Amino acid sequence: ARVPVARDPLCRSVCRSTHPPAGKRHPSRAMIQYRHGTWGFTFAWSLKGSVFPQALALSLPCAVIAAALNYALNNISDLDVSISSAGLNVLGGFSFILGFLIVFRSQTAYARWWEGCTLLQQTRGEWFNAFSGCMAFCSSAPDKQEEVVRFQHRLVRLISMLYGAALNEVSEMRSNAFEFIDLDDFESEGLEYLGTSVSKCEIVLQWVQRLVVEAHNAGVLDVAPPILTRVFNHLGNGIVFFHNAQKLNDFPMPFPLSQIIIFMLIFHWMLTAVVTATSVESTIWVAFISFVVVFGFWGVHYIGMELEQPFGDDANDLPLREMQVDMNTLLREVMHVRARSPPKFEYDPACHKQLRTTTVSLEEYITRVVSMGDLRLNMTTSERRRTRPKRKSRLQSLWPQVLSPKANFQRDQSGDSEDAASTEGAAAVIPDGGAAERSSTDSSAGECHASFASDDDRPRPAPISTATSSPSGGCPVAGGGA
C-alpha cells in the first residue's frame, strides 16, 4: 500500500529558485561584490554594508560639541582649563589600552567569521563526497537498475535535506526558508517526527547512514565493506565540522570584554571632546581632530560587531541560502546521466602515446567539439588524426636522430635516388675493414656535394648500428676503426 505523503505548498514554493547558467558558477549575490579599481579607492564610496553611517552618527556630534566648547572657552569665558602634559600622558595611555582592546576584538570577530565560512564549506565538501562515493559504488547489474535509481533519488533528497537542516540550525536569520530538492513523497510520519525533533541534522544523518547500509545489504552498492567505510568517514567528518560551526552561535564573545570596551568607548568619546577643546586653539582643528579620532575608534568597533555573528541577515554575513542552492546544483549535476560514467575515449597510439599538452580554454574547446557534432562521430580514426594539428615536440624537432636513430639510419639506407647524398654519407662512416670508397662518377652525388661548402656540412645519420662506446665512457667510436 502507498504510504501517506506530505505535500506542502510552501515546500513547493521554496523549491523553486533561479540557478546560474549551465557551465558557469557565479559568486554569491548575497555577499558584497566589489573591485578595487585602478587607483584602489573607488569602491570606498559605497555605503552598502558599511559602518560609516554608524560611526558618523557618533563622530559628528563629538566634533560639534568640541568645537562649541572651544569657541566658548576662547571667546566667552576667561577660565584657564588647559590640561597639563601629565594629563595628556594619562589620556594617551587610556587611548592605547582602548585601541588594543578594539583591535583584538575586531581580529577575533574576523577569525570567527572566517571560521564559520570554512566550517560550512568543509561540511558541504564532506557530505558531497559521501554522496559522490555512493553514486560511484552503485551496481551496474541490469537486474539492479530499478533499485539503483530509487536509491539514488532517495539519497539525493536526503543529502539536500541534511545540508539544509544544518544551515537551518546555525542560522540567525529572521526567515529560515531554504531550498530543498522535492520533499514530496516522503512518508508523513517520518517528517512529522523530524519537525518535532530538536536535532534535525542528526536525525537526517542517521537516515542517510541507515539508507547506505540497507542499499549495501541489498546489493545496490556493489563495493567491499572496507571501501564503503569511506562514505561513513565523510558523513562523520561533516557532522563534526557542523558542530564546530554551531559553537559560534552557542558561545558568543565573552560579556566582560564587550562590556569594558563599550564603557571605555563612551568615556573616550567625552574625553576627546574636552581634551581637544582645551588643548587646541583653532576651532576648526578641534572639530577635525575630534571627528577623526572618534570616527576611527567607533568604526573599528562596529566592524567587530558586524563580523562577530556570521550567520545572520546583515550585508556582511555569510550567504546561507545561496550556499544551499549551490549544494543542490552540485547534487543535480552529479545525478545527470552523463555524470554517472566517464566519457568514452578512443585510444590512438600514434597520437596519444606521446602525452602531448595543449594550452586552451576548456569552455572554448568543449564548444568547438560540440559544434562538430555528428561530423566528428562519423569520422574514422585516421580521419580524426588528419584533422588534428600537426605538432612536434620540442625534442623531436631539435634531435630527430637522437629520438629514433636506428629507424632514421635504416630509412636512409633504403632511400631513393634523391637521398643518394645522405646514403653516401652514411656509408662513409660504416667500417668495412678498409677505407670507404666514394663514387665520383655519380652525377647526382656530385651535384649534392657541390651544394655544400665542405664535406662536414652535409647532414649524415648517426652511426648507431655498429657504434660502440669507448672504454673511458666517452663518445661512441665506430667499431673496427682506429
Which residues fall within 8 angstroms of residue 228, CB to CB, at 6 or more apart? 137, 212, 216, 221
Instruction: Write the CB contacts of 290 (distance below 8 Å, at least 6 apart in sequence).
Output: 59, 62, 63, 65, 66, 67, 272, 273, 276, 277
Judge contact between 163 and 123, C-beta under 8 A: yes
Q: Given this model, what pLDDT does residue 390 score?
A: 52
In 3D space, the residue among 292, 389, 327, 367 whose CA is nearest the CA of residue 158 turns out to be: 327
- Tens of pLDDT, residue by residue, the chain (482 residues): 334 444 443 333 334 444 444 445 554 556 777 777 777 777 788 888 889 999 999 999 999 999 999 888 888 766 666 677 777 788 888 999 999 999 999 999 999 999 999 999 999 999 999 999 999 999 999 999 999 999 999 999 999 999 999 999 999 888 888 999 988 889 989 999 998 998 899 999 999 999 999 999 999 999 999 999 999 999 999 999 999 999 998 898 999 999 999 999 999 999 999 988 888 888 999 999 999 999 999 999 999 999 999 998 888 899 999 999 999 999 999 999 889 888 888 888 888 888 888 888 888 888 887 777 655 555 665 666 555 555 545 444 544 544 455 545 455 455 444 444 444 444 443 444 444 344 444 444 344 343 334 444 444 444 444 334 443 434 343 344 43
Outline where 9-142 has alpha helix (H).
Answer: 9-15, 52-75, 85-137
For 210, other C-beta atoms within 10 Å of its C-beta total 10
Q: What angle do CA 159, 28, 239 make, to 5 degrees?
A: 30
- Burial of 91-129, coded b for 16+ CB within 10 Å and e otherwise, reads beeebeebeebbeebbebbbebbeebeebbebbbebbbb
Continuous H helices in 343-390:
349-352, 362-372, 374-377, 381-387
DSSP state for residue 465 in the 8-state scheme:
T
Q: pTM of the full predicted structure?
A: 0.70
Helices 283-308 and 255-279, axial angle in degrees (round to 10): 170
Q: What is the pLDDT of residue 420?
A: 47
Length, in residues, of the chain: 482
pLDDT of residue 21: 47
